[in-house]
Structure 1
């Protein structure tokens, strides 16, 4: 009951902030698809004083954290917005502090920003996670100290008003001597989809000219926060070779025997969904499976090895791309 009661003011505060932003934008005639005070240059004296807070940004406070605008690090203007834990305080996983703002993302494809993680006094960031979220869904996160410049997250497919939140969250329980900081600056929203960096694994990844197979199987793993089930298989290519899609890819192995075709087609139709999402490397992260024609891939692969690009799009149009290396066993006595 205590937890439920504690959440009510936060929900009301967010609702009030949401309508306040809409009223301000409507009154001032400012169009959507942009952050207000994106570099945190406009400030006001907040409580507890002295505390310089960014105008046009709402904040969620926790007594074990603090947050304000500071000039200790910045990439655009004189200030950045910083969230930090208080040294000597006790923490439990999930406790957090954040700044947030409602933004009209209609027609936009990317949120860009700069961030910096550090710890005082050690300089080694630990026990916490910095993250950027849209409607409580993490789209970017970091847990290692350093500067993160020109970061981009895809918001393709989103429209209307959404809450964009900058958050610092405790990952571990304990009392920590260091104060762990994340500073944010130079936020922007712009058109165009950012290309996701995908992890690609090919099987086989070594081609032997004396052995000819039917398929090159490709496992596609997307960054955290993206669902491989949303990959549009019809857009996937290896260089310019299109992936073989649908049940057909699973029954072609039987196509040389006429008696196997009806059975194989029924089996392929029943199992195509189950066989296209797997955990091939057993790391707990699912991969999407597509296949490419062996002969077509072998035709572009050159000894001793060739790096190939696999690219495609999600159902919402967000592009992804990754690379893999194919080793090629050279023919003995082949002229080079």
Structure 2
């Protein structure tokens, strides 16, 4: 899809959101477009000017430039190696910005790094109808059905019901996480060869790797994304979602869910630019999508991929994907949980 088509489609979606009175959501899309392309089309500029009285600037400008007077930190960017600068203190975290690749990260003291490396005890422990399951399942099925894939790695999947649902349909789905007690329980549920710790994954490659609500946990993007790439087939895709940052102060981010960045282990905020940078470093292509829902204004669905078949398939998809939360899992389940 050409850039002009992408901008036009997302601008139309922002117009639709604004017509519903969802001004923050509309502005988040427009600010993301301005970051991506440097300048908005005349139509998008007009729309942004119209909604600002309702959405408000809120201290946010769509720029990833360092704040005036920002001091250089003692932390190199883990993605590109250049010095990061102090950005802001928000949500009980000290945020640093890389001016070169626009990665925004919280300082991660050794104790937090150890906690992140142990994983979460209750990840995705939600009722079977919850969007945390439906979102990942819908995306996996889109690629499985659209490209005839049969091998899937569900990475950082926690207690999610997705591996079980896919395996029940004949898909070779393998789960992966960090929390040891969770892994042992999931092995008992799904089978010894169906769920693994990240560091004990078998030496095999998958055409599809799902990593939903995972990238915001990465403290070392080159290392963490490298794990995924090592298990990606020569023609394959890594699909996921996270809340993207659109520039300015994270504390003034246009989101209905400010709690997202209050989460103790959400430490990395991506932009289109920073994810393009990490994709380039691994010789991957990248595409970005939004879902056709009214809220979650900062939620971005991304696909890191390689291979002409995936490029062609992704370019044929609309930039605003329909019913991303709409597909129910074919299981009679209550709550995903361990013993």
Normalised TM-score (structure 1) = 0.23
Which protein has the larger Cα radius of gyration, Structure 1 or Structure 2? 1
**Larger % of strand: which?**
1
Higher share in helix: 2
Could you say which structure has the greater relative contact order, defined with CA pairs below 8 angstroms and 6 or more residues apart?
2
